[in-house]
Amino acid sequence: MVREEFKYRGYTLEELKEMNLDELKEILPSRARRKIERGLNEEEKKLLEEIRELQDSSEDIVVKTHLRDMIILPEFVTLKIGIHNGNDFEVIRVEPEMIGHFIGEFATTRKDVKHGGPGIGATRSSKYVPLK
């Protein structure tokens, strides 16, 4: 099966990487566009600079961040990003389909609930286990 070339709103990945932030914001969804129009804060600028430095090196390094509200830009594609989920860093590899989404969408902050059976230390009413 041949994989079709990736396109984001009619632009190839190479074209997206060549765009500057002002050109890119015009094709992003409205929430991401508004965030870029307001300007990136100091932490986000620092993360962006760190990622741009890693683009030059060929090493497979994980960039760790607490910035769950950072928008995934085309220059993040193929990088490994460690996203803090409140407990530890969840490592994801950025795919082209993630462009325009927030980083935090890909690292869940809540665990699935796994209920155990009643037993020692349970309340009086929940100690009852049917014999059937």
> Would the pLDDT of 111 be above 80?
yes
Mean pLDDT of 114-130: 66
Q: How far is CA 58 from CA 53, 54, 110, 118, in A?
A: 10, 8, 34, 53
First-to-final CA distance of the chain:
53
> Would the pLDDT of 39 be above 80?
yes
Confidence of residue 37 (pLDDT cuts 50, 70, 90): very high
User: Looking at residue 18, what is its pLDDT?
Assistant: 92
User: Looking at residue 131, what is its pLDDT?
Assistant: 66
The residue among 104 and 59 whose pLDDT is bigger is: 104
Report the residue count for the chain: 132
**Domains recognised in the chain with CATH numbers:** 7-108 (3.30.860.10)
Give the residues across from 81 on adjacent strands.
63, 92
